[in-house]
Chain A
Amino acid sequence: MVMKRFRVIFVAVVAAWTMSTLVRAQGAPDPAAAFFDDSILHEIRFTINTKDWTSLKVHYLENTYYPADLRWNDVVVRNIGIRSRGTGSRSGVKPGLRVDFDRYTTGQRFLGLKSFIVRNNTQDATGLRERVSMNFFRHMGVPALREAHAKLYVNNEYAGLFTIVESPDKDYLQKNFGENGGHLYEYHFDNAAVAAGAAPFVFQYLGSDPALYVPVLFKPETREDDPQGEVIAQFVQAINDTNAASWRTSMAAYLDLAKFIRYLAMENFLGEEDGHTGDYGPNNFYIYRFLNTNRFQFIPWDKSNTFWENANYSVFRNLEDGPVEKRNRLVLRALQEPDLRQLYLNTLLECANSAAEGATATQPGWLEAEIGRVYEQIRPAALEDLLIFSNEQFETGIADVKAFARGRSDAVRLQVAAHQ
């Protein structure tokens, strides 16, 4: 009798273990998938004390948190924390927000999320450059952050059209890299110093002192109590290693150069004016160092300055031209390697093909179609939001972005051909 009961229990345990393993292997459903479903225009409602909302807008340059309740569809999350966020995009008229669910309640989550970003797009009249760019990265196989547009209501008053952006946090790392125990850093571009005439950080070696890099340039987002800035110092030192023979070997310990070059090519295909080879020096990225290794991975961030100027925007801008002190030394050094340079050109062509995917004489390619899809979705809400841009600026911006996308593939192919 006892043996029979033991067998039953044993079989039940084995069955349960097998089932859970199968579920894990298939990938558990992501509860936040519906929140970032970009096929619909979302609606987010905050209830916040009116004095706090006024204060947040008046003190928009500060990172003070204010309590609020969040409603999305039928889901209500109470006592969340929101604060003003952004660098150049900070606004007291239309504040960008960081939403933290566990600021006031330990362990509180919303659809499994600890936080998310409400981007105000104050530097982009179209409001869609960021989202379309991230979609393009994902289309090219890069694990970019998920985004969707949302109408924001504060105390039942329309506060404008925003983009909701997945936070680059531990959940994101686990989902995209299969681990989250390493070191995640947000790159901090010192606007004030550069505006005052200081040279930007372009991956030049500043010295071995970790404090020269962390947290002034690389702000720890995980493992803050053990930031290990010395590894970043070693990484930068390796970038600047002048020994041509050993450069690839020493860099291999820190970076998958091929992956980085592909990422760079995608960014430049999109005409990113404020990215790795931007006009102001390298900017707008996170960097993740995998657990128990010195290997880094770049993560794209804030692509509101893509589709810059026109379709002929040079994919060699600030590589072959521009002020020397603003050129990214990592990129310059990597592109001295023939195979990496060829990879850069090949990836640009791959981007051109991908962007033009599905194009016919009467149908736009993938990229322009994507812009059109997002435009149709957000247009009524954008026209209602006159806080930063007029309707004319919005429509003109959309026309420019579409024109960029329409002509970009051919323009890049021509630029690549000229450099083969």
Chain B
Amino acid sequence: MRMLAAALLVLLAVPLRARGAEPAQPKSAAGASTDSTVSANERGAQAKPPKTKKPKKAKKPKGDVPAPDEPVNPDEPDETGGKGARATWKQHPSLRFGSVFRLDFEAKFQEDGRATYEGATGLESWELHRNRVGIQGHLFKKIEYEVERELTEKELTEKELSAGQAPKSPWKDVNVNLTFIKNAQVQLGRFKVPFGLDTLTGVTHNDFIYRSLGANYLTPSRDIGGMVHGRFFQHGLNYSVGVFRHDGDNARSRKIQGGDETFAARLTGTPLRRINPRAFTNLELGSAYTLSSLSDDSFRPNGLRGRTLLTQDTFFEPVYVKGHRSRWEGDADWTFGSGSARAEYTVVLDSRLQQGLANNDLKDARARAWYVSGSWAVTGEKKKRPLKPNNDFLQGGIGAVEVVARIERLWFDSLGSGEAYRSTRAEFVLPEGEKAFTIGVNWTLNRFVKLQINGIREDVDRDRNPALPEMFPPAAFWNKVIRLQFVL
């Protein structure tokens, strides 16, 4: 925390120009960093790289200076110039050897201040939410690599480990991406399963402090695997197809085993990019599907659970599942001038073979989620992720100020209809869910520092059983969250 505060002070006090942050580093859209998706608008907004061998060194508009959390394209000319081994700090602190090797150092810090309903347990008012460091770069421009680690991940106690609880990996993205064939790049290692627009949006790029309910609890997120991905028609069509060891970190917890052997495929495109009106040029549509195997090896229920956004109170306990888990999502991502809109719908079906009280098969358990969100940069910046100020704070401007809003729902039940119970082996699962509404302001001071303020109204729709002793939130409540983000 002290380090974060000191760094912030330095950044606010020292003029950016003095640190030589001038030349643009156009980013890659190859997906080397799976922690971020690049929308059609973002790609459209990027200046195409000059094809000359010696790029012009003229200063570019400040808006084109890449932020630290923008992806790197190894095919872009190295504007730091020079040959042989050297150290530079343009987008990141970086070590380079000619154009054949690049090693960037990166860091992400997020400090959160939080308040919620009275009596909530296990919620600290202040939390260093993320404290990640990593490296990324490329070798011979054809082998991209990335390693990122969370430094504040809580480790389990011996007692928890002996109880069979699996620790959540502090390793985030650890992978290589082979780009020998642009239309069929091969990514190997640990990275995000290609599913879910919100989940695939980088953590520092998100319009909201917390991802949507569906992204948090229904999408897979990271896992170890291999993936082939590429694009056609100048990003008009993008695809990703992969297989993974399990079905992602989000489906697993200390008590829930999660699924195994996942196949995933995602397709995105900008079908309206060539038609009028041009307002829909940047409308990107996407869809993804995953199929995982589900075992009932654990004596605990292995289904998905529903939790609140901030306090993570469980409002839907997992049910027993076995067989296959299939996920499907459809999404739309539209940017227009200073504004943007997003929508996503996700459905997950878990089969329940032999999970009845008499070892009979039950109808699939089902989880569904949707959200619609919008943003508007009131200071006039063109919408990108990350949003970059036209004029940095204390550098002739106030930075970029953006207002955002999101409405969403997450709910659980089972297929079919009949007398429903809350039981973990109920023939028909009692429907339970949550609605949430988020409003917020994002203030990007400069390309390193962002302040986010969110008010989140959560409305839990649950049959309240006085027989259950667990602490539980009120039916509806407000959360207030402020986040200070620093990227390097």
Rounded to whole Å, the gap between the CB of B365 and the closest CB of chain A is 14
Among candidates B300, B320, B422, residue contacting A105 with C-beta atoms closer than 8 Å: B422
Q: Scan residues 46-84 of chain A and give those whose CB is less than 8 A from a CB of chain B.
A: 47-52, 55, 58-59, 64, 66-69, 78-79, 81
| Stretch of A96-104, A134-142, A253-261 lying at the B interface | A96-104
- Given A51-B299, A55-B299, A224-B469, does the pair A104, B422 have CB atoms closer than 8 Å? yes
Rounded to whole Å, the gap between the CB of B159 and the closest CB of chain A is 14
Task: Report how far A67 CA is from B317 CA in the complex, Å.
Answer: 13
A64: B residues at CB distance < 8 A:
299-300
Contact A48 B357 (CB under 8 A): yes
Contact A79 B358 (CB under 8 A): no
State whether the Cβ of B125 lies closer than 8 Å to any Cβ in chain A. Answer: no
Q: Scan residues 268-313 of chain B and give those whose CB is less than 8 A from a CB of chain A.
A: 296, 299-300
State whether the Cβ of B424 lies closer than 8 Å to any Cβ in chain A. Answer: yes
Rounded to whole Å, the gap between the CB of A133 and the closest CB of chain B is 29
A105: B residues at CB distance < 8 A:
421-423
State whether the Cβ of A293 lies closer than 8 Å to any Cβ in chain B. Answer: no
Among candidates B354, B423, B465, residue contacting A67 with C-beta atoms closer than 8 Å: B423
Specify the chain A residue showing the minimal Cβ separation from B298.
A55
- Given A58-B299, A106-B463, A106-B465, does the pair A50, B359 have CB atoms closer than 8 Å? yes
- Given A49-B355, A49-B357, A50-B359, does the pair A102, B299 have CB atoms closer than 8 Å? no
State whether the Cβ of B197 lies closer than 8 Å to any Cβ in chain A. Answer: no
State whether the Cβ of A317 lies closer than 8 Å to any Cβ in chain B. Answer: no
State whether the Cβ of B425 lies closer than 8 Å to any Cβ in chain A. Answer: yes
Rounded to whole Å, the gap between the CB of A51 and the closest CB of chain B is 7
A48: B residues at CB distance < 8 A:
357
Contact A102 B465 (CB under 8 A): yes
- Given A49-B425, A51-B299, does the pair A114, B356 have CB atoms closer than 8 Å? no
Among candidates A49, A59, A104, residue contacting B359 with C-beta atoms closer than 8 Å: A49
Task: Report how far A64 CA is from B466 CA in the complex, Å.
Answer: 18
State whether the Cβ of B467 lies closer than 8 Å to any Cβ in chain A. Answer: yes
Rounded to whole Å, the gap between the CB of A305 and the closest CB of chain B is 29
Task: Report how far A102 CA is from B463 CA in the complex, Å.
Answer: 12
Interface flags, B349-385, vs A, CB<8A=1, else 0: 0000011111100000000000000000000000000
Among candidates A49, A51, A104, residue contacting B421 with C-beta atoms closer than 8 Å: A104
Contact A79 B465 (CB under 8 A): no
Contact A67 B424 (CB under 8 A): yes
Among candidates A47, A50, A67, A102, residue contacting B426 with C-beta atoms closer than 8 Å: A67
Rounded to whole Å, the gap between the CB of B253 and the closest CB of chain A is 16
State whether the Cβ of B464 lies closer than 8 Å to any Cβ in chain A. Answer: yes
Contact B424 A100 (CB under 8 A): no
Q: Scan residues 34-89 of chain B and give those whose CB is less than 8 A from a CB of chain A.
A: none
B355: A residues at CB distance < 8 A:
49
Task: Report how far A52 CA is from B319 CA in the complex, Å.
Answer: 13
Specify the chain A residue showing the minimal Cβ separation from B300.
A64
Among candidates B296, B422, B426, residue contacting A51 with C-beta atoms closer than 8 Å: B296
Rounded to whole Å, the gap between the CB of B358 and the closest CB of chain A is 6
Contact A47 B357 (CB under 8 A): yes
Interface flags, A273-302, vs B, CB<8A=1, else 0: 000000000000000000000000000000
Interface centre among B300, B320, B357, B463 (most CB of A within 10 A): B357
Specify the chain A residue showing the minimal Cβ separation from B467.
A102
Task: Report how far A52 CA is from B356 CA in the complex, Å.
Answer: 10
Contact B357 A68 (CB under 8 A): yes
A66: B residues at CB distance < 8 A:
424
Task: Report how far A64 CA is from B421 CA in the complex, Å.
Answer: 18
Specify the chain B residue showing the minimal Cβ separation from A156.
B358
B320: A residues at CB distance < 8 A:
49
Rounded to whole Å, the gap between the CB of A255 and the closest CB of chain B is 29
Rounded to whole Å, the gap between the CB of B260 and the closest CB of chain A is 18
Q: Scan residues 460-481 of chain B and give those whose CB is less than 8 A from a CB of chain A.
A: 463-469
Interface centre among A59, A100, A103, A104 (most CB of B within 10 A): A104
Specify the chain B residue showing the minimal Cβ separation from A56.
B299
Contact A59 B421 (CB under 8 A): no
Contact B421 A78 (CB under 8 A): yes
Rounded to whole Å, the gap between the CB of A63 and the closest CB of chain B is 10
Contact B296 A100 (CB under 8 A): no
Contact A47 B358 (CB under 8 A): yes
A155: B residues at CB distance < 8 A:
358
Task: Report how far A47 CA is from B320 CA in the complex, Å.
Answer: 16
B359: A residues at CB distance < 8 A:
49-51
Contact A79 B426 (CB under 8 A): yes
Specify the chain B residue showing the minimal Cβ separation from A115.
B467
Contact B357 A69 (CB under 8 A): yes
Task: Report how far A49 CA is from B468 CA in the complex, Å.
Answer: 22
Q: Scan residues 434-488 of chain B and give those whose CB is less than 8 A from a CB of chain A.
A: 463-469
A78: B residues at CB distance < 8 A:
421
Q: Scan residues 352-398 of chain A and give those whose CB is less than 8 A from a CB of chain B.
A: none
Specify the chain B residue showing the minimal Cβ separation from A104.
B423
Task: Report how far A360 CA is from B164 CA in the complex, Å.
Answer: 63
Q: Scan residues 309-337 of chain B and give those whose CB is less than 8 A from a CB of chain A.
A: 320
Q: Scan residues 92-150 of chain B and give those whose CB is less than 8 A from a CB of chain A.
A: none
Among candidates B300, B354, B463, B467, residue contacting A100 with C-beta atoms closer than 8 Å: B467
- Given A47-B357, A47-B358, A224-B469, does the pair A104, B299 have CB atoms closer than 8 Å? no
A52: B residues at CB distance < 8 A:
425
Among candidates B300, B356, B422, B469, residue contacting A49 with C-beta atoms closer than 8 Å: B356
A114: B residues at CB distance < 8 A:
467
Contact B467 A106 (CB under 8 A): yes
Rounded to whole Å, the gap between the CB of B425 and the closest CB of chain A is 5
Specify the chain B residue showing the minimal Cβ separation from A78.
B421
Task: Report how far A102 CA is from B465 CA in the complex, Å.
Answer: 8
Rounded to whole Å, the gap between the CB of B230 and the closest CB of chain A is 44
Task: Report how far A47 CA is from B359 CA in the complex, Å.
Answer: 10
B421: A residues at CB distance < 8 A:
67, 78-79, 104-105
B423: A residues at CB distance < 8 A:
67, 79, 81, 104-105
Rounded to whole Å, the gap between the CB of B138 and the closest CB of chain A is 50
B466: A residues at CB distance < 8 A:
106
Task: Report how far A224 CA is from B299 CA in the complex, Å.
Answer: 29
A59: B residues at CB distance < 8 A:
299
B358: A residues at CB distance < 8 A:
47, 49, 155
Rounded to whole Å, the gap between the CB of B303 and the closest CB of chain A is 13
Task: Report how far A51 CA is from B423 CA in the complex, Å.
Answer: 15
Task: Report how far A68 CA is from B424 CA in the complex, Å.
Answer: 10
Task: Report how far A247 CA is from B467 CA in the complex, Å.
Answer: 40
Interface centre among A68, A69, A106 (most CB of B within 10 A): A106
B424: A residues at CB distance < 8 A:
66-67, 104
Rounded to whole Å, the gap between the CB of B300 and the closest CB of chain A is 8
Interface flags, A95-129, vs B, CB<8A=1, else 0: 00000101111100000001000000000000000
A69: B residues at CB distance < 8 A:
357
Task: Report how far A109 CA is from B19 CA in the complex, Å.
Answer: 73
Contact B426 A104 (CB under 8 A): yes
Among candidates B425, B426, B464, B469, residue contacting A106 with C-beta atoms closer than 8 Å: B464
Rounded to whole Å, the gap between the CB of B232 and the closest CB of chain A is 48
Rounded to whole Å, the gap between the CB of B427 and the closest CB of chain A is 9
A58: B residues at CB distance < 8 A:
299
Rounded to whole Å, the gap between the CB of A171 and the closest CB of chain B is 13
Specify the chain A residue showing the minimal Cβ separation from B419.
A78
Specify the chain B residue showing the minimal Cβ separation from A102.
B467
A55: B residues at CB distance < 8 A:
299
B467: A residues at CB distance < 8 A:
100, 102-103, 106, 114
Beyond A67-B425, A79-B423, A106-B465, 15 extra complex contacts between A and B, CB < 8 Å: A47-B358, A49-B320, A58-B299, A64-B300, A67-B423, A67-B426, A79-B425, A79-B426, A102-B465, A102-B467, A103-B467, A105-B422, A105-B423, A106-B422, A155-B358
User: Can you give 22 A-B contacts (C-beta < 8 A)?
Assistant: A47-B358, A49-B320, A49-B357, A49-B358, A50-B359, A52-B425, A64-B299, A66-B424, A67-B421, A67-B424, A69-B357, A78-B421, A79-B422, A81-B423, A100-B467, A102-B467, A104-B424, A105-B421, A105-B422, A106-B464, A106-B466, A224-B469
Task: Rank and list the top 10 A-B pairs by shortest CB-CB distance, nearest first.
Answer: A104-B423, A55-B299, A67-B423, A79-B421, A79-B423, A102-B467, A106-B465, A104-B422, A67-B425, A47-B357
